[in-house]
Chain A
Amino acid sequence: MTNTNTGVHEQATQKKEAIVFEQPYIGLYEQHHETIKNHAAPPLNAGRDAEFKKFRNLGFPSSTLENYKYSDFRETLSVDYGLNINRMKFPVNPYNVFKCDVPGIAAYLYFVVNDAFYPVRTEINKSLPDGVIIGSLRDAAMEHPELVSRYYGKLAEKQSDGFAAFNGAFAQDGFFIYVPKNVVLDRPVQIVNIMRSDVDFMANSRNLVIAEEGAKVQVLVCDHTADDVRFFSNRVTEVFVGENAVYEHYKLENVSKKTTDVSTLLIKQAENSNVLANIITLHNGITRNNVEIDLDGEHCETTLCGMALSDQKQALDNFTSILHNKPNCHSTELFKYILDDEAKGGFTGRLYVARDAQKTQAYQTNKNILLNRTAKMRTKPQLEIHADDVKCSHGATIGQLDEKAMFYMRQRGISEKEARMLLMYAFTADVIENIRIDALKDRIKMLVEKRLRGELSKCEGCSIC
């Protein structure tokens, strides 16, 4: 009897605690949903109430959920973040204050400040090939409502994730990239997300990328923080990759320790398309990446990889899903973590192979190095294979630096510190090799080396990291 009572009491407490986090936002939406909608655009509002209801049911994910058991958001969700539903302008000109310097990359460069696309101030758009649209999602939804409506929310609405639903309810803007049929973008598109606020702040941005049949586009998303307050970014990116299209997505995170970042990347691939997603976390606070790649046509190629260098109390959880829905597709997944101090890492590699997805080839690897006893890594391959003629493999390791290799190098005169550096750098080499933009690859090599040496880990020009 006593036990039952305790159980009920605990349940009640948990539920109460959960409501505490969500309640202010639920109240905010109920009171101000008209304002939110007025400052967005009809295509973005179509499913907004449904997403809100979904969020109200789901709440923010807690670590009691199987899919979130490596993440803990309780502390960061207790912060009283401000939201900018009235779309006030933040006093910052990123073109002046920020130089995310990747020498030689010559990218089409754009900024998103918090959750608002920053007006383009350069001539760069004029050099875009005909038909290509890059800009604010809100503006695109006003100017090209049919195009945006055809795609917006189509991947996100299928998710049953509290953060994604929250984003669907609150997001008003973000970036939009449209590359029409057979257009090849000669230069990468670089989107720099800058968090800028004098008070603790939450940004919900929504991004949409459409690469039509035969198109080719490389997108580099850099996450930065410009102030020393608590930030929470909750971003959802939907990407539609058409037949024979090639899409590359690089996420380079270099944000302050006080930042929580939840990024959802949803990619749908049509027949014969080729996708590379590379998620690099150099410096962060608490990060959760939800990546889902849906192979919805035959002969798709997918490479999903990532790496993390974490120390102090940084936490990173990559939750990935590759869905082989059609036959004859090939996917490779590779994630590597180096964790020091009290850093916490999580990796989940879901691999789903549908019943008729014969001749699937899917290879998954997660390797981790813990530099001391207080760092923690939790890794979970999760294969669900319904077809019988497939080649699938998975492997996960957690270990320390190779002592034999250390001694070998020291015997040649290389100091212990330098030998450790070289080994850690080597450990990340195959993820870095999966960058197909040479200028970016060189830059990442340099940033990784600096990070490993404990020197600055931020791009030059970034004021806070």
Chain B
Amino acid sequence: MLEIKNLHATVNGKEILKGVDLTVKKGEVHAIMGPNGSGKSTLASVITGNPAFEVTKGKVIYEGVDLLELSPEERAGAGVFLSFQYPVEIPGVSMVNFMRAAINEQRKYRGQEPVSATEFLRLMREKKELVEMDSQLTNRSVNEGFSGGEKKRNEIFQMAMLEPKLAILDETDSGLDIDALRIVANGVNKLKTPENASIVITHYQRLLDYIIPDFVHVLHDGKIIKSGDKSLALELEEKGYDWLK
């Protein structure tokens, strides 16, 4: 599904990714761990096309197409989703309008008809239940005045609404208490199918108790320096990152 080859990227002229290689297949869950500043969020930003980052070398092939050639919205339309580490507040844009615009623009990209009003409301209701999200939140502006936990839950809610093929969860566990973590992880697990894949970026092993990865990669100084199965996460939890350097 996703093939990253020798990916180099810079932000403000500073090289952050220094040759990342990663292959993700359908149905797989990959965890990317690593210390602060190792490039985890940059990798997520580059895959989704954040214009603040510049790719200087390498390739990202997604379902046979060169992802780097597509605009952020085209990547989203093709099924790439990012759960933001810091979801953005957008005062004045209601959750309902935002979600409807997102769904319909993605459908348009795929040559599908817009979703009907009743179908849209049914979807909203169903997916809110999935992440146990307070009904009132969808009546407000996007993320405005949401608590940290509500913002993260809102990310998973949007993921449930959009049903991406490739979901990247960037530090979705940060700022969550244990109950919220369980709900968010539960939402992610329910959305898992043999057809989609996810990349879970995290600092701590904690989230991986709930979302069981098939592979664990350690990103350090812009490169993946070690890969393994879920036991690698436990080993990192115990020993820290220093022994790998």
Contact = CB atoms under 8 A, between A and B. Distances in A.
Interface in B58-113: 71-73, 75-77, 81-82, 84, 87-93, 97-98, 101-103, 105-106, 109
Most chain A CB within a 10 A radius of its CB, from B49, B73, B162? B73
B90 A411 contact: no
A348 to B, nearest CB: 25
Name the prevailing secondary structure of the A interface residues: helix
B73 A413 contact: yes
Contact of B71 (A403, A410, A422, A425): A410
Given A422-B98, A426-B141, A414 B73 contact: yes
Given A426-B92, A426-B93, A427-B92, A408 B87 contact: yes
A15 interface: no
A413 B162 contact: yes
Contacts of A425: 92-93
A412 B92 contact: no
B172 interface: no
B189 interface: no
A156 B75 CA distance: 60
Contacts of A428: 92
Interface residues of B, number: 32
A410 B72 contact: yes
A405 interface: yes
A34 interface: no
B140 to A, nearest CB: 12
A423 B90 contact: yes
A430 B158 CA distance: 26
A388 interface: no
A404 interface: yes
A155 interface: no
Given A404-B88, A418-B105, A423-B90, A409 B48 contact: no
Interface of B: 48-52, 71-73, 75-77, 81-82, 84, 87-93, 97-98, 101-103, 105-106, 109, 141, 158, 162
Give the 10 A-B CB pairs with smallest separation, nearest first: A426-B92, A413-B76, A413-B106, A429-B92, A412-B102, A410-B72, A408-B88, A426-B93, A410-B73, A413-B105
24 contacts: A403-B51, A407-B52, A408-B88, A408-B90, A410-B49, A410-B71, A410-B76, A411-B49, A411-B81, A412-B102, A413-B103, A414-B101, A415-B73, A415-B105, A416-B71, A418-B101, A422-B98, A422-B101, A425-B93, A426-B93, A426-B141, A427-B92, A429-B92, A430-B92
